[in-house]
A and B are shown apart, each in its own frame.
Chain A
């Protein structure tokens, strides 16, 4: 909502503060001034008066010639908008014939009609009667009343303790009858509909003051009749609509529901299809306006219009809101109706328009009144306790002052014992409760006077949720491990899911996505991280070590809600293990990834070796064949991952080897440490032995390791560690075999071990290893 300082001045007793102060008052009362403009900024200094010389029809198109001093310009226009030949219009003096030719000149906005007394070629701004300041005010959804000059003036008046000057209404009525039939079939959606018949109307340009005011408030002046309806809407907040009666079939107005599939061409020349729940204004055969949203093209007031039906109504806010949203059509009228307009001002606004019509133009008004339906007029009374209002606000304020504030806002206040009764003004449908009164008082008194304090009461915030603790620990570990935390989008595209081979039927779909690129909720973090990998690779950031903790979504058809959201952890690595410097670098591989996973699991499942890696997992399309794995804990899958399938990477237009793993957060939670038992510190020297073993290539290291460990456990050997230091194939190793070399580290907590007993244990272990089919011990190396 725009309002200017000079306009505001007309509605208050004595406005003697600066525009800057007005801006502060409005903002501090909850009506934020988003921008201020000078009048000059709005009425650009390049705008000058011109004369419309000629309007011509050529091949069904209209052209007009505009003269500015000696120069003439020709432009194509929409014929219905063109003022009569000889009128003064606004012209942008920077426009030349050549720019007009190149911009495809349909700019009939320039054909704003000026009063004839403005000399041709004169700049518009100096005619504005001095500088002005325009405030653009953001009006919150509860304050429809402030979408008007009078509403904003009332707010400023309350701050300054000044009375409001209400516009005057005087008009003459004639005995003439309209011969019109007006009927309201939907009192549910239109509780009140009123109208007046005007005749012998002369449609012409508005006087300069009205043109000026409309320009400042951001509206386009058209002709006196339309301008008056627009002005009254700005002034009082009541949208009005004028119909050309001769173009209403059957001289009829019918407020009715639209018939499904019915069409109307609205004022903006768009054809719109209506649905049954929309309210229309119709003549005897078809809609001539979408109630409260926009008028129809066919019945609009044109320069030749002589008979007018002027409508002022109260439409159901929800209905207007639904219709306007459904049509994607938001207008100045719908904005006001959907917030609820002042029911007691519907008729007054109509009268105000009639007065202005007679003041600035020629129009006769029939004394016939059309008033259909009735508005409920039981005023709301809110009871409040001034002490409680003070308490809500943490301010000290005398009840006299409270009363004064409420009075200026239009409330009638009456004391009753210790309490007060406030009669809520008809334009403040948002005020119902004692707290609402507190807000009104607080707004005007000033939130800056609220005395700060801190809430004090005994409350034990309790322990942090275990999941938050775990999450923090995981994040800290991964960051310390050199990985960067990311936040990717949970919304993903259909085409990406199809490339990956996910069955979209099992996913959570958004019914009204922004676009197909954001149509589903991710079923796995792997999907949303692909975009991140691609973005980095394609800008040559090839050393990647990232992780994310976030939710994935799926369907859960038998439960309530029928969806499941689940926290997961994703790790992705690519590129060099270490920053490339003056030493030789090597690339990450699947074992670098596995190392991170093992370390992470080691934090949450300490002292256990129950986690195993198995080849393959449930998403074969994501990974290179035979380079994928799943991780299980007591037979339950807790993580999966692998080398991202190269074909998929290529399909998504990037390149590189990416090792990814996704872990189930909940599983880490359930495995976190509950009991802790301290290990004794080893103070005796360790003894190291190495074994080199030749096995069939199908034998896994894990099998060999387990064999050694279980023997050590069975025999209670003080075996501290089994460390693989080489796994080798090719060279002098026979085909189909591989060499596994590993350290055995023995250490006792009780005594210094002697070589002989250690040798004996190693022999036992070797004996066991020989039982592996096809296994052979290679040279034995012993160090001391």
Chain B
């Protein structure tokens, strides 16, 4: 075996001394060619016992491959002008890159929101974007002519269907499908008949949340949302619960977080109030339970709904909601740092 070691050493020395392709080919012929030592050893294999043959064979094969790759490498060195070892490489030349992919900022935000709720033990469900008036309004305690419907101007299709104006119909579907107690979020696209401007889009995303058990109260809602806000926006942000009105919750609360730009002192982004509205919430209205076929005397729950665009605008400091749907490559490329 020392013989092989010596053989490799000699070979290494000779190929490094080779100055031309011709010389290199000569060295290759001498060591790896038909008349070389290696070939002779291969021929002797037949005389060995099967066990030895397998072992030695493998070693010879490895040696052969090593020597061949060394020849190849030396050959490339000779052929390449740029990477000649003798000339120092210009390491300031740009690296050879690939295009980098990126996730869309809205979906980055949505993924983060979902991840937080999953870590709190929520299940994720989806629902259809084409809904009936029943699921979108009536079952949510918004009968025809309800003034709250004004704020949710809908796109109507034929046969009494419409594009869902919020993810709240998911509450009814979840109540019908899941057995309490449960915690669920329902993310998805929604549609409202709002013309495009810097803060409105006819297409947007929401995340609906619903927790149902027999002893839910406002404290459960508040605690859950506080944890969510701290995780998403950071521990220094304050949360404020403020009474509000939604037909499908009672009591209802709007959730505000302290403005991240002015730290709550008041600035242009927060309308000088120091607070930013991020979601609506409340205890599930007894009529909603009833409309979903559940008994409001036996069940209680809390629900919340938030707009993903609004949160993404805040988190990334994007000035205009339309940027999300333009999909300008330069805009998208900036989000490649988010995995």
Interface residues of A (CB under 8 A from B): 27-30, 32, 34-35, 140-143, 317-318, 321-322, 325, 338-339, 391-394, 433, 435-436, 438-439, 442-443, 447-448, 450-455, 457-459, 461-462, 464-465, 467-468, 475, 478-491, 508-514, 518, 521, 532, 535-536, 539, 541, 543-546, 551, 553, 561-563, 565, 578-579, 581-583, 685, 752
How many angstroms between the C-alpha atoms of A339 and B245 in the bound complex?
13
- 6 nearest interchain CB pairs? A394-B219, A30-B243, A439-B251, A140-B245, A479-B101, A452-B223
Nearest-Cβ distance from residue B97 to partner chain A, whole angstroms: 5
Is B125 an interface residue, CB under 8 A from the partner? Answer: yes
Of chain B, the residue at the smallest CB distance from A533 is B327
Q: Is the CB of A536 within 8 A of B328?
A: yes
* Min distance, Cβ B280 to any Cβ of chain A, angstroms: 11
Using a CB-CB cutoff of 8 Å, which residues 196-222 of chain B contact chain A? 202-203, 211, 213, 216-220, 222
Contact B99 A545 (CB under 8 A): yes
Q: Is the CB–CB distance between B245 and A142 below 8 Å? A: yes
Give the chain B neighbours of A553 by CB distance below 8 A. Answer: 129-130
CA A485 to CA B109, docked complex, whole Å: 13
Select the stretch in B8-16, B21-29, B151-159, B166-174 that faces chain A.
B151-159
Given the contacts A142-B245, A452-B219, A438 and B124 also touching, CB distance less than 8 Å: no
Residues of A within 8 A of B283 (CB): 392, 435
In contact, B183 and A459 (Cβ under 8 angstroms):
yes
* Chain B proximity of A478: nearest CB distance (Å): 7
> Which of the 9-residue segments B73-81, B257-265, B329-337 touches chain A?
B329-337
**Chain B contacts of A435 at CB under 8 A?**
250-251, 283, 285-286
Contact A565 B242 (CB under 8 A): no
Residues of A within 8 A of B100 (CB): 482
**Quick check: A339 and B219 within 8 Å, CB to CB?**
no
Interface centre among A141, A455, A465 (most CB of B within 10 A): A455
Contact assessment for A453 and B327 in the assembled complex, using a CB-CB cutoff below 8 Å: no
Judge whether A752 and B96 touch: CB under 8 Å.
no
Cβ contact within 8 Å between A447 and B243 = yes
Please name all residues of chain B whose beta carbon is closer than 8 Å to the beta carbon of A392 when the two chains form the complex: 217-218, 251, 283
Closest Cβ of chain A to B290, distance in Å, is 11
Interface residues of B in 219-254 (CB under 8 A from A): 219-220, 222-224, 226-227, 240-245, 250-254
* Contacting pair A321 B251 (CB below 8 A): no
A455/B124 contact (C-beta < 8 A), A447-B243, A489-B325, A541-B329 known: no
Complex CA gap A562/B128 in Å reads 13
CB distance from B202 to the nearest CB of A (A): 6
A-B contact pairs, 17 of them (CB 8 A): A34-B271, A140-B245, A325-B150, A433-B250, A438-B251, A439-B251, A443-B251, A447-B218, A447-B253, A455-B211, A489-B203, A514-B193, A539-B328, A543-B329, A544-B329, A545-B101, A553-B130
B132: A residues at CB distance < 8 A:
561
Q: Chain B: residues with CB nearer than 8 A to chain A? A: 57, 61, 65, 93-94, 96-104, 106-107, 118, 120-126, 128-130, 132, 144-148, 150-151, 155-159, 161, 163, 181-183, 189, 191, 193, 195, 202-203, 211, 213, 216-220, 222-224, 226-227, 240-245, 250-254, 271, 283, 285-286, 302, 324-330, 332-333
Contact of A565 among B57, B101, B129, B151 (CB under 8 A): B129
Q: Is the beta-carbon distance between B243 and A28 smaller than 8 angstroms?
A: yes
- Contact, CB under 8 Å: A578 / B240: no
Query: Are B123 and A141 neighbours in the complex by a CB distance under 8 Å?
Result: no
Q: With A28-B242, A488-B325 as given contacts, are A541 and B330 in contact (CB-CB < 8 Å)?
A: yes
Residues of A within 8 Å of B125, CB to CB, are 465
CA distance A338 to B149 in the complex (A): 12
Scoring B146, B157, B161, B224 by chain A CB atoms within 10 A of each residue's CB, the highest score goes to B157
Which listed residue, B241, B251, B327, touches A532 by the CB 8 Å rule? B327
B256, chain A: closest CB distance, angstroms: 9
Q: In the bound complex, do residue B161 and residue A563 qualify as a contact, i.e. CB atoms below 8 Å apart?
A: yes
Question: How far, in whole Å, are A435 and B213 apart by their CA atoms in the complex?
Answer: 17
Of B107, B220, B271, which is within 8 A of A485 by CB? B107
Contact B245 A485 (CB under 8 A): no
Residue in contact with A561 in the complex, picked from B94, B130, B150, CB distance below 8 Å:
B130
Please report the C-alpha to C-alpha distance between residue A539 and residue B218 in the assembled complex, in whole angstroms. Answer: 51
Please tell me if the beta carbons of B329 and A29 are within 8 angstroms of each other in the complex: no
Q: Please, which residues of chain A bring their CB within 8 A of the CB of B163?
A: 510, 521
Closest chain A residue to B159, Cβ basis: A562
**Cα–Cα distance between A482 and B98 once the two chains are bound (Å):** 7
The closest CB in chain B to the CB of A513 belongs to: B155
Are A480 and B128 within 8 A (Cβ)?
no
Is the beta-carbon distance between A487 and B104 smaller than 8 angstroms? yes
Known: A433-B286, A479-B101, A685-B61. A484 touches B218 (CB 8 A): no
A579 B97 Cβ-Cβ under 8 A: yes
Contact B103 A450, beta carbon cutoff 8 Å = no
Closest to B179 in A: A459
Bound Cα distance from A483 to B332, whole angstroms: 10
| A485 adjacent to B97 (CB under 8 Å) | no
CB-defined contacts of B107 to chain A, threshold 8 Å: 475, 485, 487
A461 touching B123 by the CB < 8 A rule? Answer: yes
Given A448-B241, A541-B330, CB of A578 within 8 Å of CB of B96? yes
Given contacts A457-B213, A514-B193, A514-B195, contact A561 B101 (CB under 8 A): no
Known: A392-B283, A535-B328. A578 touches B97 (CB 8 A): yes
CA distance A579 to B107 in the complex (A): 26
- A549 CB to closest chain B CB (Å) equals 9
CB neighbours of A581 from chain B (8 A)? 94, 96-97
Nearest chain-A residue to B103 (Cβ)?
Answer: A485
* Chain A residues with CB under 8 A of B227: 454
Q: Determine the chain A residues whose CB is within 8 A of the CB of B203 once the complex forms.
A: 489-491
A141-B245, A490-B203 known; A462-B332 Cβ under 8 A: no
Q: Which residues of A contact B226 (CB under 8 A)?
A: 452
A99→B152 CA distance, assembly (Å): 42
Given contacts A29-B243, A392-B217, A485-B104, contact A454 B161 (CB under 8 A): no
Measured between beta carbons, the chain A residues less than 8 angstroms from B155 are 510-513
Interface centre among A28, A457, A489, A514 (most CB of B within 10 A): A457
The answer to whether A546 and B181 touch across the interface, beta carbons within 8 angstroms, is: no
Q: A487-B324, A512-B155 are in contact. Are A450 and B102 (CB under 8 A)?
A: no
Cα–Cα, bound, A442→B226 (Å): 19
Determine the chain B residues whose CB is within 8 A of the CB of A338 once the complex forms.
Answer: 147
Which A-chain residue is minimally distant from B181 (CB atoms)?
A457
Q: In the bound complex, what is the Cα–Cα distance between A491 and B129 (angstroms)?
A: 13
CB of A546 within 8 A of CB of B327, answer yes
B215 to chain A, nearest CB (A): 8
A565 touches B271 (CB 8 A): no
Q: A486 near B202 (CB under 8 angstroms)?
A: no
User: Given the complex of chains A and B, what is the CA–CA distance between A435 and B297 in angstroms?
Assistant: 12
Given contacts A433-B286, A490-B203, contact A752 B57 (CB under 8 A): yes
B102 → A minimal CB distance (Å): 5
Question: Would you call A318 and B245 a contact (CB within 8 A)?
Answer: no
- Given contacts A141-B148, A561-B161, is CB(A451)–CB(B250) below 8 Å? no
Quote the shortest CB–CB distance from B302 to chain A (angstroms).
8
Q: Are A479 and B222 in contact (CB-based, < 8 A)? A: no
Most A C-beta atoms less than 10 A away, residue of B193, B223, B329, B333: B329
Q: Contact: A394 with B217, CB < 8 Å?
A: yes
What's the minimum C-beta distance from B336 to chain A, rounded to whole angstroms? 8
Is B183 in contact with A461, judged by CB distance below 8 angstroms?
A: yes
Contact, CB under 8 Å: B94 / A582: yes
B contact residues around A450 at 8 Å (CB): 218-219, 222, 241
Q: How far is the CB of B335 from chain A (nearest CB, A)?
A: 8
Name the B residues within 8 Å of A491 (CB-CB): 191, 202-203
Give Cα distance in the complex from A455 to B302, angstroms: 10
Q: For the complex, what is the distance from the CA of A541 to the CA of B332, rounded to whole Å?
A: 12
Q: How far is the CB of B119 from chain A (nearest CB, A)?
A: 10
13 more contacts with CB within 8 A, not counting A480-B101, A482-B98, are A318-B144, A321-B147, A393-B218, A443-B251, A447-B218, A461-B123, A487-B325, A488-B327, A491-B202, A513-B155, A514-B202, A546-B329, A553-B130
